[in-house]
Amino acid sequence: MDKICTYFGRFKELLEEFYVSPYRGAVARARRDEDDLFMLFVFGELMGVPNPATYYTLELQPLLLERFHDWHRRQGFEHSPLDGFRCC
């Protein structure tokens, strides 16, 4: 019985990999695009884009600090576009 369970578990793992592996990159990029949009919501106000939810998103800024550098590079800013956030 144990053996069957192990085989079944292995089968499920392989099935999972069969589903995930061809699109891992594409899905990661799609997720990153969604995250980038979210970053714009959070940091938009600092760049002059009015955001009525700034009061709430302000709290998130420290949590997203680590991602900030990669994000502004992806958006085409060689250096940080914000005075308050001098990451590079």
Partner 1 sequence: MQAIFLAIIGLSLIFIGYRFYSKFIAEKIYQLDPNFETPAHSMRDDVDYVPTNRVVLWGHHFTAVAGAAPIIGPAIAVIWGWLPAFLWVTIGTMFFAGVHDFGAVWASVRNRAKSVGSLTGDVVSPRARNLFMVVVFFLLMMVNAVFGVAISTEFQATPSSVIPAWTAVVVAIGIGILIYRMHIPILWPTVAGTIILYAVIYLGELVPISLADGTLGLPAGAQWIIILFVYAGIASLLPVWLLLQPRDYINGIQLFVGLGLLYGAVMIANPPVVAPAINPNVPASAPPIIPLLFVTIACGAISGFHGLVGSGTTSKQLNKETDARFVGYLGSVGEGALALVAIIAATAGFASLGEWEEMYSEFGNGGVGAFVSGGATIVSRGVGISYEFAATLLTVMAVLFAGTTMDAGVRLQRYIIQEWGSIYNIPVLQNGYVATLAAVTSCLILAFGAGGPSGEGGMLIWPLFGTTNQLLAGLTLLVISVMLVKLGRPARYTLIPMIFITGMALAAALLQLSTLYAAGRWALLGIDVVIVLLAILTGLEATSAFMRERKASTAGANA
CA distance linking residue 87 with residue 81, whole number of Å: 10
Q: Smallest distance from the beta carbon of 16 to partner 1, in angstroms?
A: 5
Give the residue with the Cβ less far from partner 1, 33 or 66: 33
**Footprint of partner 1 on residues 2-41 (CB under 8 A)?**
12, 14-19, 21-28, 30
| Exposed/middle/buried for residue 5 (C-beta within 10 Å: 0-12, 13-18, 19+) | exposed
Q: How many residues does the chain have?
A: 88
The contacts of residue 25 (CB under 8 Å, 6+ apart) are: none
70 near partner 1, rule: CB under 8 A: no
- The size of the interface with partner 1 (CB under 8 A), counted in residues, is 16
* Residue 48 near residue 16 (C-beta atoms within 8 A): no
Q: Smallest distance from the beta carbon of 32 to partner 1, in angstroms?
A: 10
Q: Which residues bind partner 1 (CB under 8 A)?
A: 12, 14-19, 21-28, 30
